[in-house]
Structure 1
Amino acid sequence: MQEFLNWTVDTIREDRLISPWLEEKKYEWVPLVSKSIVNILDKGCSILIITDSERDWFLKYILTNLNSHKQNRPFLPFYNFKSFYKDLDSLKTEDDISFIKDMLNISFPNGYCFWYIGKSNDVRATLPKFTKNSFLWIFDEEIQDAFNLKTTDEALDMKLLQMFRLFNKTLSAALFADINVEN
């Protein structure tokens, strides 16, 4: 079983579709991905994916590829949050958030986590940003415990695809005990 940080660096270097920029961010990437995968595989949490409206295409991409038969692994509990709550764009009060969290606690007795990809100031970011254990890919704001990106980056879409590729490979490696993400 390979150490997670070394495996991540080796994977980035060996995969011709992942650019070296991600290796430079390895110390930001590894702890966030580790926490996310532990939540899924060890704690049995379901992952509720939310994106800002500009990244709806990416949400579809993730859901199409994550549990594809091509992965040759069991399906994992990733869901589009909009399938549970359609009015995400109209969240306004703490009561709204409280009601949603109550619903999710009933629906997911083993727990749930949010995976948010998008602008920090988007209304859709509200729930994930203030929920414990969220996996955040945040744009245009430096937030602790988040992978921070800039919307002004010309290569943003390519970087998102590369990050997903690495995350998906990490899921498989952890699931099949090739790596221990807790170390």
Structure 2
Amino acid sequence: MQEFLNWTVDTIRDDKLLSPWLEEKKYEWTPLVAKSVISILDKGCSVIVISDDERNWFLEYILTNINKKSLNRPYLPFYDFKSFYKLMDNVQNEDDVNYLKDMLNISFPNGYCFWYIGRSQDARAFIPKVSKYSFLWLFDEEKQDAFNLKSSDMALDMKLLQMFRLYNKTLSAALFAEINVES
């Protein structure tokens, strides 16, 4: 079993579709991904994916590709938040969030976590930002415990696809005990 940080660097270097910029961010990337993978595989949490409007294409890409048969792994519990609550843009305060959390606690007795991709100031970011175990890919804010990107980056879409590719490979490697994300 390979150590997670070394495996990440090796994977970035070996995969021709991943760029060196990810290796430069390895110290930001690995703890966030480790926390996400542990939530899914060890704690049995479901992942509720949310994006801002501009990244809706990426949310669809994630949900289309996370459980592809060609991955030859068990299906993992990733869901689109819009399928649970169509009025998510109307969530504006702690009471609204608490009502939603009550519903999600009933729906997911093993737990859940949010994966948010988008602008930090978007209304949809409110729920994941106030939730304890969220996996945040935030744009235009430097927030601790989030992977921070710039929406003005001309290569942003490419970077998102590369990040997803690495994340998906990490899930498979952890699932098949090739890596230990806890070390």
TM-score by length of 2: 0.99
* Count of equivalent residues: 183
Q: How does 1:9-158 map to 2 (within 5 A)?
A: 9-158=9-158
Per the TM alignment, residue 93 of structure 1 is displaced from its structure 2 partner at its CA by 2.5
CA distance in 2, matches of 1:165, 1:72: 15
CA distance in 1, matches of 2:95, 2:175: 37
Aligned to 1:8: 8
Residue identity opposite 1:26 in structure 2: K
Aligned 8 A contact 2:118 2:139 in 1: yes
2:148 alignment partner, SS class: strand
Any stretches of 5+ residues in structure 1 without a counterpart? none
Per the TM alignment, residue 90 of structure 1 is displaced from its structure 2 partner at its CA by 1.1
Per the TM alignment, residue 94 of structure 1 is displaced from its structure 2 partner at its CA by 1.9
Aligned 8 A contact 2:4 2:30 in 1: yes
CA distance in 1, matches of 2:92, 2:120: 16
CA RMSD of aligned residues (A): 0.5
Structure 1 ranges of 4+ moved more than 4 A: none
CA distance in 2, matches of 1:40, 1:142: 25
Per the TM alignment, residue 161 of structure 1 is displaced from its structure 2 partner at its CA by 0.1
TM-score by length of 1: 0.99
Per the TM alignment, residue 23 of structure 1 is displaced from its structure 2 partner at its CA by 0.1
Any stretches of 5+ residues in structure 2 without a counterpart? none
Per the TM alignment, residue 95 of structure 1 is displaced from its structure 2 partner at its CA by 1.4
**Deviation per residue, 1:48-107 (Å, 9 max, x gap):** 000000000000000000001011100000000110111011112321111000000111
**Deviation per residue, 1:89-146 (Å, 9 max, x gap):** 1112321111000000111111000000000000000000000110000000000000
Percent sequence identity over aligned pairs: 74
Aligned to 2:176: 176
Residue identity opposite 1:33 in structure 2: V
Residue identity opposite 1:116 in structure 2: Y
